[in-house]
Structure formats: C-alpha cells, structure tokens
Structure 1
Amino acid sequence: MTMFLREEDSEIRRVEKLTRISDVLVERIDRLEESRGSAWSMFQAAVALEQEVQVRTRELEQALADLSERNRELAVARALAEEANRSKTRFLRAASHDLLQPLSAAKLFLAALNDTSMDELQTELAQRLSGAFESVEELMHAVLDISRLDSQRIEFQRKPVDLGEMFRRLAIEYAPMAEAKGLRLSFAPTSAIVESDPTFLRRIAQNLVSNAIKYTDSGGVLAGVRRRGGRVWLEILDTGIGIAAPDRARIFDEFHRIGREGGAPGMGLGLSIVRRACAKLGHPIAMDSEPGRGTVFRVSLPLVGAETQGKGVAPVLDGPSLRGRVALVVENDDAMRRAYQLILQDRLGMVARVTCGIPEALAQMGDEPPDVVIADYNLDNGDTGLQAIRELRLAAGQPVPAIIVSARRDPEIGRASLELGVPVVEKPVRPEDLQAVLQHMFA
C-alpha cells in the first residue's frame, strides 16, 4: 500500500513537471509566434515605407527639376529686362541730343527776341513761350535723371564740391523765378567743401530750391549749411504752404504733387529724383514741415579737405566785360549756329566766328587764336567737340580756353573734359549760364 502511494506521488510529480514543461514550451511558442508576427509587420511596414520614400523622392526630383526650369526662365527674363533697361537708357542718352538740340536753339532765339523792343502782347507771348520751354526742359531732364538713377551701371564722379560756388550758381539761376513771385531768395555764405557727385548734388539742390519757390506764395526761401562733426547738413527752408502729415510719406513718389487751389507748375518728379539720387549717393535726407508755416529739407553730406574763405554769393554777371572777345563756335546744327551768333554778338558784344566742323574751324582760326572755343560734343562724321578742342589747341600752339556744350550726361565726357581743363555746359543752353561760364573763365 505504501509502495503504491509512493508510485502515485511520483507519477503526480512527473505529470506536474511535464505540465510545467508543456506550459513553458507553449509560452515559448506563443512568444515566438508573437515575435514572428511583429517582425512580419515590421517587414511589411518597411516595404510600404520604402515605396513611399521612392514616390516622395520622385516627386521631389520633379519639383527640383521644375524649380530649376523656373530659375532658368527667371534668369532669362531678368537678363531680358536688364537688356531692355540698358537699351532704354542708351536710347534716351542718344535721343537726348536730338531732343535738346532744337530746344536749345529755341531758347537762345527766345532770349534774343526778349532783347528786342516788343509791345505788351508780344512780351506776354514771349513769357508764356519761355514758361512752356522751361516745363519741357524740366520734364526731359527729369526723365533722363530717373533713367540714369534707375540704371544698375550708373557711375558717379565723387569729388570735392565747393558749396559756396554751387550756391553762387543757384542764386543766379533761380533769382528770376523768385523775383517773378515777389519772394526773397537767399543763400547763406559758406566755405564748406563736401564729397559728392557735383552734377547730381547740383540736381538735388536745384530740385529742392525750385520746389520751395513753387510752393511759397509770400516770404522767401533760404539755403544754408549747418555743421555736425565731420558732416554738414545742406538745408533748404521756405515759408510756403507746408506739408500735411498724410502727404509726408508720399511726397517723394513720382507724379505726386500737393493739391491746392491754382496748383504749382511741374510734373511731381523733382522730389522723386532727390530721393533716388540721395539713396544712390548715400546722402541721408530729412524733412520737417508745418502746414501754413513752411518746410525745411536737409541733406547730410561728408566734409572733405581744407576749406576756402567764405566769399558769399556775388552775382557773376558783374564780372569782366566780354565785349570784343573772339569766340570760335564749332556746331553742326544750323539753328544753333545762328542762335549762338545772336547771343554772343548782339547780347554779349563778342565777335562770333561760327563753323560747322573741325576743318572749317581750323581754317577760320588761321594764324590768330580766338579768345575762347565753344564746341558742341556731337559733331558730324563721328567727330567730337573734345577732338575739335585738341586739334585747335595743337594748331594754335597754346591751350586756348574752351567750353564743351553737351546734351549727354555721360561720366566719360565729364572725365575727358576734366583732363582737358574744359567746363561742360549742359543743353538746353541758357544765355545766363553761358555768360557766367565765359566771365568766370576770363576772370
């Protein structure tokens, strides 16, 4: 009996052991199945992910190809736009001579007409014609200035600029405009010499002074200089209508003019040119204004070099007499030759020898050099006024004083003229400017 019980206990333990082993095996099999299931799922997920990556890669490659094509198209469009802009600039530069040539002649003829006796109606008509020519000239210069300032290849001739000398020229130029409105136009004497492009700095000052006079009905306009360390502020103050707050952010936009009864003449391009030129030259500009009391514009300029003694703004028209001086004119336009003859002889009392080109000028000069040569830059057969001056000086055996007249505002012309020591007078030619340059030369 005892033995039977022992065998039964042994059998029970063996069954329990087998059961545990079976449970362990079943558990291992379950884990293995789970593991196999997870790996299969991961494999399937990996395959799906790889397919998705391939699809996205193809889409990305297509997008990059499209972007590259768009970039090529944009590069071509940009190149075409730049070439169109250069072509526009070249066209305007080339056309400016032909456009300003008849305008110069017309203004000189009108100046000669004003020197004759006229009745009241004729005087009024002459004044209106003069105003119309001024408007055309202003518009043409504005278009040319904007074209140059918008060009990516613009070159500036930075050099020392005597503000006192610039003020003197501006005083002469704008005195008639101020007198016509009964305004005081004053330029404070200054000895400041700044670094800038003389042509564009003068254009900045011209536009600011002209604008101040246009929008001032009583009182006056004052131009002066304030020093701040190594810089100066060129300031143009007026007692005009002022600028309301809503207009201050828009006055530098093209064709924007302050509205008022009667309006002011002009196209609304002056301040746009000022903003462009100041930005290109790196001259900060500021403005303060109070409606009904006036406006002040300020342009910051860097001081350079030693300064000269302040000379004030003396009228150049009080300079040396030009009567009897001999001027040899080299001009290929018939109307301009006649206009020069009238202004130089009838108004200034000079002896004018007008010629149409270099060979005729050399023949006219003979053995006696003139007192001054006035040469247009663009002559026939590809000749230039600079070439004419060189050949005339060589034939004369001395550096005869000379003036270049040009409608092209080309830095190359400025540099070449500077090397010859020849001043440049821009078209359309003003009799007052021509007289001022001649008197300054003989002084």
Structure 2
Amino acid sequence: MKKPSDSGDTGYGIGDLLGLGSQSVRKNYYPALQDRIEELEKERNRYKWLFENALHGIFQANLRGGFVAANPAMARMCGYDSVEELITRVVRLREQLFCGSGEFDVIRQEILDHGSLSAREARLRRADNTPVHVAITLLRRPDLGPEVVEAFVADITERHQAREKLRQLNADLERRVEERTDELQNANVVLRYQIEQREKVEQELVVAVDAARDANESKDKYLAAASHDLLQPLNAARLLVSALIDSNLPVDESRLVQRVQRSLESAEDLLADLLDISKLDQKAMQADYVHTDIGALMRGLAEEFEPLAENAELNFRVRVGVGRVRTDPRMLTRILRNLLSNAFRYTAEGGVLFAARKRGPNLEIGVWDTGIGIEKAKLEDIFREFQQILPKGGSRQGVGLGLAIVERMARVLRCEIRVESVYGRGSCFSVLIPLTSVAQLPAGLPDRETPMPASSSFGGLQVLVIDNEEPVQESMRALLARWGCQVVTAGSAASAMEYCQSTDIILADFHLDDELTGCEAIHTVRRHFDRDIPAAVLTADRSDDTRRLITAQYLPILNKPVKPNRLRALLTSLVASLNPERD
C-alpha cells in the first residue's frame, strides 16, 4: 500500500509544487534554490540597512491606532531614544503624534479618498510636546488592512524657520514701507504746504514787483515833471545871470553876480547828476549806437570849455582825434564833459590837455591835468557815489556823483575807464574804446595841437526863440542880444510867423502849449518861410524817448538849464551850416 502523502487527496505535496517531489529532483535543484535564497537574503538585508539608516523617517502604522514599524530616523525626529520606545509610547497617532486632531482628520480623510498623499506639510508632536515641522508622504496599503499606511517623513524645520524669517522680513519690509509711505505722505503734505506758501509768497512778490514797477514809473514821471519844472526857472536864471555878466557892472556887483552864477551852476549840476544816476541805477538809460565823428565831438567839447579855461587863466590844449566811432555820442560826450569839468575844478594853475591817441587795441581819449592829484589809497573810492577828493583846506564842490556817472555810463557803452594820478602833481582820466568799434581810423592819430577857435561873433544874426515860458523868452533875448544877435521871441509857431518876417536860426523849446512840440514848431516855421532853416531844440526833458524823438528829426539837442558856453557852441555850429559849401 502506497503511503499517503502530505498533499491529502490531491496526492501533491509541497515538494511536488516546488519541483522537488522526488529525491532526484531535489538533488538537481537544491543549488539554484540555495542561490536564490541567498540573493533574497542579501536584498532583504540591503533594504533593512536602508530602512534603518535612512535620513528621513519611515514608518508603517494603522490610522486607527499607532505604529506598526518605524526606523530610527523617525524615532529621532520625534525625540525618542529608540524605535521601541516610539512604538510603545505612541499608540494613538491622532492624539499622540499629530499636534492637532483636526489636521490629522484632514490627512486621514484625504488618504482614504485618494489612496495617497504627497509632501503634505504637517506638525508632529515630539516626546517633549514641542512641535516639529515635517513634509509627510503617505501611501495606503489596503492589502495589509483597511487603514494601514506607509509613510516617508522629512524634517523641514529649517525650511519652515527660513520661511518664517522671510515672512517676518516681508512683514518688517511692509511695515517699513508703510512707515516710509506715511513719512512720504507727511512730507508731501508739508511740501504741498510749502509750495502753497511759496506760491502765495510769489504772488505777493509779483504784486510787490508790480507795485515797485508802478512806483518807479511814478517816480520817473515825477522826476521828469519835477526836472522840467525845476530846470525851467533855473534856465531862465542862468541866462539872465550870463547876460548880467556880459554887462559892464561895477566890481562888487560883478562879483556878486558871478557867485550867483556859480550857485546856479551847482544847483543845475546836482539836479542833472541826480536824474542821470537814477536812470543808470534803474538800467533805464540805454545806448543808441551811431557812427560818430570823434574830431567833431572833441572840438565841440573844446569850444564849450575854452571860456572856462580863459576865465581860470589855464592853458587848455587839445589834440583832436580822427575817425568815426560807433558809440552813443550823447553818453560819450557826458563822460568826457564830466572828466573835463573835474580837471578844471581841481586845477588851480598849469593847464589841461584833452587828447585822443591810439593805444594798443583801443582808441584812448584822455584828460590830463596839473591839479591836486589823488592818493593811491583813494583811487578805488573816487567812482563811488558821493565821494570827493578835497584838497587840504578846500571846500566841498558838488555832491560827488560825476565820476560815478562816468563809470556807469562807460559800463553801458562797454568802454574802460582808466585813471593815473600823482598826488600833488596831477591826474589823467581816459576812456578806452575798442578799435573794433572804430571805422576809418588811420594808423596814427595826429600829434599836433589843434588851436582853439576864437569866440564866435554873432553880429546881425537873426534868431527866433520859441518858448512858452515868458521868463525864458526874456532871458534868452537878453543873453543873445549881448552877443549881437537880433532876437525875436514867441510862445508858439503861430505867433512866431505873425511877428517874424525872416530868421537865420530857430531855437525852440520841446514842450509847448496845447501839447505841441518844438519839432512841430520848427517844421511849421520852415514850411512858412519855405526853406530849411538851421534849428535846434532846447528842452528840460532828459528822457530817452524824448531824445530819440528829437534825434529822429535830425535836430540838435541842448538840455536846459542852458549853459552859455554850450549855447555859444551850438550857435557857432548852426551858423556854420548857413554856409552852403559846408555839409
């Protein structure tokens, strides 16, 4: 009887299933099986080594209970000394492993729904009840049980701390941005306030500037009106005094009349200087550049100062320049006149030289005198307002505006003023005009002395004076009659044509009655007599507009108060134009 096998009714045992049913077969397959078992053992040992030495935590657990298995990394991560301690002490994952039961419930539900969970961040409870931040990956193992899972856990504490630090930095940055924004908003509020205040100040400044401009215009109008009203009686007084001086008066009376003349001259010079310095300070005096004959300009000034030189018994020499200069003749004449006036004022004996010469790249027109001279320490002060260099024991003459006017007018004309002086021996003041402004200037200016013309004789010269001020008519008639002129005076062009049958020269005031001008009166008389009668305008109005208007009519101008020597020079020039052979 066959011995029953271990296979029961089937008749197959385990050995049969493995192919080892017979003894011969077992002997044939045993080496291969042994090799396979060894390979499996090695594989198991390798996975065991990886499991036990992994850097991240690995565990198998039942979500309804605790750990089934865990590696040492998991125990260390949770703060336990060994795996056995971890498994023994943590028997409920929900309450003992996770920091929050709600967090565990969410993870459990998600693993049950989806079967896996990847890198979910969570907080696990350590043995000392402190939290550890982890990233956990779960895989459900339904083959081992309905809620059995295997998990891989990475400690992300450093990442969490870095993230928290970044969040804190962001929070600090946001706070600083908010603070800075508040500061900027406050600064903007302050700035807006400052801008509003500045705009308010600017508006007030505009109003103030407009008020100042209106005040200046009012002042200019006042000065113009006041100068006209003051200069008119001064003009009449000067002319009457000049007529008295030409009369044969007793010595005492003559001396008194000369003192009156000097007082009137001082008043006239002071008023003229104040008007000019006011215009220069306001930059209201502009240069009108025209080509000017230097020789004619210097000869006119020489004729003007010759009587003064004769009265002072001073030697007055003139070396006239040749050529035409592009300049403002009125301003250049005023500069040179002030220099000549100072030279004669401060020269008691000797003489004055008035000369022009080429000096390097400039045309130099200078005034040399043998007067009191100026100390070197005071040379820089003489061009300031109200500064005067007085001789020892000398009295003050004028108010000290002459050289201040010279310096400022020269600046307007872009010329240079030079001064050289030796105290006690004399001074030299000169004006340097760049040669680029000179036309038709020969290589060398004449070095000869030009003789001064003798006083002109106006015997029989018919002069028509048109002026709406009777005192001025009377004084002009008295002075011109002393010079041998036949004078007819009138207050307007209409009355002049009524009483005057013929005339050689017309002298007309600029401002006449009924808002008419001397220019219009001159043209009316010329049309009446149907010839171009030589004429000039006498005016106390020193404004630039008035000067330009008269100059545009090609009429000479003589400012009031009229100085006799300037009037004589003007008459001489007008008489010369009567000669048809002269331009």
TM-score normalised to structure 2 length? 0.69
Following TM superposition, by how much is the alpha carbon of 1:125 offset from its aligned partner in structure 2, in angstroms?
A: 0.8
Mapping of residues 67-106 of structure 1, within 5 Å:
67-106=198-237
Q: Is 1:231 aligned to residue 366 of structure 2? A: no
Q: Is 1:358 aligned to residue 489 of structure 2? A: no
Following TM superposition, by how much is the alpha carbon of 1:168 offset from its aligned partner in structure 2, in angstroms?
A: 2.2
Could you say which residue in structure 1 is the equivalent of 2:467?
A: 331
Q: What is the letter of the counterpart of residue 574 of structure 2?
A: M
- Residue in structure 1 matching 2:300, options 163, 169, 176: 169
Could you say which residue in structure 1 is the equivalent of 2:179?
A: 48
Q: 1:34 to 1:222 in 2, by over 3 A?
A: same
Q: What is the letter of the counterpart of residue 291 of structure 1?
A: Y
Q: What is the letter of the counterpart of residue 296 of structure 1?
A: C
In terms of fraction of residues, the more helix-rich structure is 1
Q: Is 1:424 aligned to residue 557 of structure 2? A: yes
Mapping of residues 133-282 of structure 1, within 5 Å:
133-228=264-359, 231-261=362-392, 262-282=394-414
SS in 2 for 1:133: helix
Could you say which structure has the larger radius of gyration?
Answer: 2
Following TM superposition, by how much is the alpha carbon of 1:28 offset from its aligned partner in structure 2, in angstroms?
A: 2.7
Could you say which residue in structure 2 is the equivalent of 1:403?
A: 536
Q: What is the letter of the counterpart of residue 90 of structure 1?
A: K
Following TM superposition, by how much is the alpha carbon of 1:172 offset from its aligned partner in structure 2, in angstroms?
A: 3.0
Q: 1:438 to 1:293 in 2, by over 3 A?
A: closer
Structure with the larger RCO, 1 or 2 (CA within 8 Å, 6+ apart): 1
Gaps of 5+ in 2: 1-40, 54-70, 78-133, 135-152, 577-583
Any conservation in 2 of the 1:215–1:264 contact (CA below 8 Å)?
no
Q: 1:17 to 1:298 in 2, by over 3 A?
A: farther
Following TM superposition, by how much is the alpha carbon of 1:140 offset from its aligned partner in structure 2, in angstroms?
A: 1.0
Following TM superposition, by how much is the alpha carbon of 1:93 offset from its aligned partner in structure 2, in angstroms?
A: 1.8
Q: Number of residues paired by the alignment?
A: 435
Any conservation in 2 of the 1:241–1:292 contact (CA below 8 Å)?
yes
SS in 2 for 1:102: helix
Q: Distance in 2 between matches of 1:44 and 1:51?
A: 10
- Residue in structure 2 matching 1:370, options 503, 516, 536: 503
Any conservation in 2 of the 1:317–1:435 contact (CA below 8 Å)?
no
Q: 1:73 to 1:175 in 2, by over 3 A?
A: same
Identify which range, 228-237 or 423-432, moves more after superposition.
228-237
Q: Distance in 2 between matches of 1:217 and 1:318?
A: 23
Any conservation in 2 of the 1:156–1:411 contact (CA below 8 Å)?
no
Q: 1:437 to 1:33 in 2, by over 3 A?
A: closer
Could you say which residue in structure 2 is the equivalent of 1:126?
A: 257
Following TM superposition, by how much is the alpha carbon of 1:186 offset from its aligned partner in structure 2, in angstroms?
A: 2.1
SS in 2 for 1:329: strand
Q: What is the letter of the counterpart of residue 185 of structure 1?
A: F
Q: Distance in 2 between matches of 1:155 and 1:391?
A: 31
Following TM superposition, by how much is the alpha carbon of 1:396 offset from its aligned partner in structure 2, in angstroms?
A: 1.0
SS in 1 for 2:287: coil
TM-score normalised to structure 1 length? 0.89
Q: Is 1:304 aligned to residue 304 of structure 2? A: no
Any conservation in 2 of the 1:331–1:375 contact (CA below 8 Å)?
yes
Q: Is 1:440 aligned to residue 573 of structure 2? A: yes
Any conservation in 1 of the 2:273–2:402 contact (CA below 8 Å)?
yes
For residues 286-320 of structure 1, give each alpha carbon's deviation from its aligned partner in whole angstroms, at most 9, with x where no partner exists.
Answer: 2233333333222222443336996964444444x
Q: 1:221 to 1:314 in 2, by over 3 A?
A: closer
- Residue in structure 2 matching 1:340, options 476, 488, 491: 476
Identify which range, 227-236 or 176-185, moves more after superposition.
176-185
Any conservation in 2 of the 1:86–1:151 contact (CA below 8 Å)?
no
Q: 1:8 to 1:306 in 2, by over 3 A?
A: closer
Query: Alpha carbon RMSD of aligned pairs, Å?
Result: 2.8
Following TM superposition, by how much is the alpha carbon of 1:59 offset from its aligned partner in structure 2, in angstroms?
A: 1.0
Any conservation in 2 of the 1:185–1:221 contact (CA below 8 Å)?
yes
Q: What is the letter of the counterpart of residue 344 of structure 2?
A: I
Following TM superposition, by how much is the alpha carbon of 1:325 offset from its aligned partner in structure 2, in angstroms?
A: 2.3
Q: What is the letter of the counterpart of residue 462 of structure 2?
A: V
Q: Distance in 2 between matches of 1:420 and 1:30?
A: 98
Q: Distance in 1 between matches of 2:302 and 2:558?
A: 17
Q: What is the letter of the counterpart of residue 142 of structure 1?
A: D
Q: What is the letter of the counterpart of residue 68 of structure 1?
A: E
Identify which range, 205-214 or 146-155, moves more after superposition.
146-155
- Residue in structure 1 matching 2:422, options 266, 280, 290: 290
Q: Distance in 2 between matches of 1:160 and 1:204?
A: 17
Identify which range, 37-46 or 309-318, moves more after superposition.
309-318
SS in 1 for 2:285: coil
Q: Distance in 1 between matches of 2:198 and 2:181?
A: 25
SS in 2 for 1:123: helix
Q: Distance in 2 between matches of 1:435 and 1:43?
A: 92
Identify which range, 421-430 or 392-401, moves more after superposition.
421-430
Any conservation in 1 of the 2:299–2:320 contact (CA below 8 Å)?
no
SS in 2 for 1:398: coil
